[in-house]
Amino acid sequence: MALYTDSEFYHVNDTARVTIRNLSEDWLEVGRSLRLYKDVNGSWIETQAYPDDYLVTNELYVFFPGSSWSHKLPLHHLTPGYYRLVKQVSHYDSPEIEVETHFTVTS
């Protein structure tokens, strides 16, 4: 499973396109939610992933081998800095794994 954004660098008012792709040979399950962390003096501090006015539903997506899914992540609520985006992935007979990607927000 791979998680990536459409750019490594964004401005504060940009919207990132987040894509998750199943690189395995089996189906995997992924929800819409994600976790976002900001690098603060060398430590990852969890921050609000979505703006207050953004609705996130609790859908479960099944990804077949080679399939991908993208969605938009507004960044206007973030301050400039380096961020880590984390998503949990599961399979019926194995423990959950996490995939992550990184990006920078500038003013």
Rounded CA separation 11/104 (Å): 8
Which of 17-26, 27-36, 42-51, 52-61 is least confident? 52-61
DSSP secondary-structure letter at 8? Answer: S
The CATH number covering residue 20 comes to 2.60.40.10
Domain count, the chain: 1
Rounded CA separation 96/89 (Å): 6
pTM for the model stands at 0.87
Residue by residue, DSSP assigns 23-80 as -SSS-EEEES--EEEEEETTEEEEE-SS-TT------EEEE-TT-EEEEEEE-TTPPS
pLDDT tens digit string along 57-77? 677 888 899 999 888 999 989
Give percent above pLDDT 90 in the chain: 57
